[in-house]
A and B are shown apart, each in its own frame.
Chain A
Amino acid sequence: DQQVKQNSPSLSVQEGRISILNCDYTNSMFDYFLWYKKYPAEGPTFLISISSIKDKNEDGRFTVFLNKSAKHLSLHIVPSQPGDSAVYFCAENSNSGYALNFGKGTSLLVTP
C-alpha cells in the first residue's frame, strides 16, 4: 500500500493565481517531506522540504504547509508562472530508511 498519496493527477491554474498541490501520507514516523519538480525528459529536481517539527516552510514563491494531525501537506505556488508547468512529486524521508518514498505526482499546467 502506498505510503504517500497524491490524489489529484492533474491541476490547471491561470498564470498569476495560486497553485495548491496536495499530498497525504500514512506513516507518522518521518523526518522530512520533500517536493520535487519534473519536466519531461529530465530527472526530478529538488524544490523544497519541511521538517517534521515545523508546520510551514517558505522559499520565494513556494511554501509548504504540514498538518500532522491530518497527515496532510500541501505546496503553494504564488504567483504561478507558465514555467512552473511540470509534474510535482511529494516524497517522504522516514527515519526507518534513507531512500525516499514518492507519490505518483500531480501534473500542473499554468496557462497564460
Chain B
Amino acid sequence: GAGVSQSPSNKVTEKGKDVELRCDPISGHTALYWYRQSLGQGLEFLIYFQGNSAPDKSGLPSDRFSAERTGGSVSTLTIQRTQQEDSAVYLCASSSRGTGANVLTFGAGSRLTVL
C-alpha cells in the first residue's frame, strides 16, 4: 500500500481482556517496528522485525505482550489480560534497509483504552 495501515484506529476494552492490533506495512519494506506512546510520554520501542531474522523483542514490557509477522508483511501485536497501564497509542512503522539514515514511516496508530 501507499502508507502504513493500522487497525483498529480506536479500541476500548475491559481490564483482563485480550486485544489484537494489526499493522500492514509499506509494500517492499523489510523492517517493521512497534512503538507505543503513553500519555505525556515519548515513543517507547516495543519490538522490531527484520526480514527472516529473529525479532528484537527487547522493548516488550511484559510477557503479556507478543507480536508476530506473517509472510514478512502484516504484523499483529497481541496484549493478553490487558491492564489499565496498557492504555496508549500503539504505533507501527516500517522501513527499507539501505544506506543513510534509517527513516521509519509510521502509521496513524491504534489508540487503546483499557477500562
Where the two chains meet, the residues of A that have a C-beta atom closer than 8 Å to any C-beta of B are: 2, 6, 31-32, 34, 41-46, 49, 51, 89, 91, 93, 97-105
Determine the distance from Cα of A80 to Cα of B59 in the docked complex, in whole angstroms. Answer: 36
Given the interface pairs A31-B101, A32-B100, A93-B101, the reply to whether A99 lies near B56 with Cβ below 8 Å is yes
Nearest A residue (CB) for B111: A41
**How many inter-chain residue pairs (CB < 8 Å) link A and B?**
62
Q: Which residues of B contact A102 (CB under 8 A)?
A: 35, 42-43, 45
A43–B109 touching, CB < 8 Å: yes
A32–B102 touching, CB < 8 Å: yes
- The number of chain B residues touching the other chain, given as a range, is 20 to 34
Given the interface pairs A46-B103, A98-B31, A99-B48, the reply to whether A104 lies near B108 with Cβ below 8 Å is no
The smallest C-beta distance from B67 to any residue of chain A, in angstroms, reads 13
Main secondary structure, interface of B, reads loop
Given the interface pairs A99-B33, A99-B48, A105-B42, the reply to whether A34 lies near B108 with Cβ below 8 Å is no
The smallest C-beta distance from B9 to any residue of chain A, in angstroms, reads 9
The smallest C-beta distance from A84 to any residue of chain B, in angstroms, reads 19
Where the two chains meet, the residues of B that have a C-beta atom closer than 8 Å to any C-beta of A are: 4, 31, 33, 35, 41-43, 45, 48, 50, 56, 59, 91, 93, 97, 100-109
